[in-house]
Amino acid sequence: MDALLTAKKVKKVYSIGETKVHALKGVDLDIYENTFYSIVGKSGSGKSTLLHLLSGMDKPTEGRVVFQGKDMGNLPDKELSRMKRKEFGFVFQAYHLLPELCVLENVLLPVYLDYGEPDQNHVDEVMTCLGLQDKYYKFPSQLSGGEQQRVAIARALMNKPRIIFADEPTGNLDQENSDEVIELLINSSLRFHQSIVLVTHDMDIAQRADRVVHIKDGVLS
């Protein structure tokens, strides 16, 4: 079986004035479908940088990131943006919900950004899967942190992406909400056949993954 997404000899160097930070020093990684990966390592080891490069949010200094045969570094910006909206879902530590929109409007944003029509069955299925069936018309300020993160996950699932990228998604939540959000993220990815690539400091969460990717000083171990 071919990998869905492949990083080949990926390096990332950040330049701050004269100083160069070698954040990734030649990373090879295959992401297969229907698989949950966690990326763990100390602070500053390169976890978020790796997630940003795998998800097309940033480009490598050297090496290639290939999604379904397409080198993301060679795609025109417009095509890359379209691909990311269609194929990838994003969940961050901050929920990034728009406060003036209700839950349903927030969740449907990616669909409207692609000039699409909502698939009402999918919307209802995702919302129910995430326990949000009675929250459609609430505003973010009326929800708890855990509920807001569940809305962000629902939004990430709306376009039926192949991969969910999550960077410390439970970083702002207490233990109980954190457990619930991870449980729902795993359940929904199984239900809707997505892979998950998740960056976390929490080893209990990391161990839930099918594969734990360890990174140290920009190198996978």
Window of 15-23, 30-38, 73-81, 187-195 that interacts with ligand ATP by CB under 6 A: 15-23
Window of 13-21, 81-89, 104-112, 187-195 that interacts with ligand ATP by CB under 6 A: 13-21
Contact (Cβ atoms closer than 8 angstroms) between residue 213 and residue 38: yes
Residue 18 binds ligand ATP (CB under 6 A): no
Residue 21 binds ligand ATP (CB under 6 A): yes
What distance in Å separates the CA atoms of residue 173 and residue 201, rounded to the nearest whole number? 13
Identify which of 207, 204, 203, 209 has the alpha carbon closest to the alpha carbon of residue 41: 203
Q: What residues have CB less than 8 Å from 23, skipping those under 6 apart?
A: 12, 13, 14, 46, 49, 218
User: What's the one-letter identity of residue 210?
Assistant: D
One of 16, 77, 78, 134 touching ligand ATP (CB under 6 A): 16
**Which residues inside 47-66 make contact with ligand ATP, applying CB under 6 A?**
47-49
Q: How far is the CB of 215 from ligand ATP (least distance, A)?
A: 7
Contact (Cβ atoms closer than 8 angstroms) between residue 69 and residue 3: no
Residue 203 binds ligand ATP (CB under 6 A): no
Q: What angle do CA 40, 50, 127 make, to 5 degrees?
A: 75
Pick between residue 3 and residue 13 the one whose CB is nearest to ligand ATP. 13
Q: How far is the CB of 35 from ligand ATP (least distance, A)?
A: 21
Pick between residue 6 and residue 200 the one whose CB is nearest to ligand ATP. 200
One of 1, 2, 17, 43 touching ligand ATP (CB under 6 A): 43
Pick between residue 47 and residue 162 the one whose CB is nearest to ligand ATP. 47
Residue 93 binds ligand ATP (CB under 6 A): no
Window of 41-49, 114-122, 169-177, 203-211 that interacts with ligand ATP by CB under 6 A: 41-49
H or E element at residue 85: helix 77-87
Q: How far is the CB of 58 from ligand ATP (least distance, A)?
A: 9
Cα radius of gyration (the chain)? 17
Residue 46 binds ligand ATP (CB under 6 A): yes
Length of the chain: 221
Characterize 64-77 residue by residue with b for buried, 16 or more Cβ atoms within 10 angstroms of its Cβ, and e for exposed: ebbbeeeebbebee
Binding footprint of ligand ATP on the chain (CB under 6 A): 14, 16, 21, 23, 41, 43-49
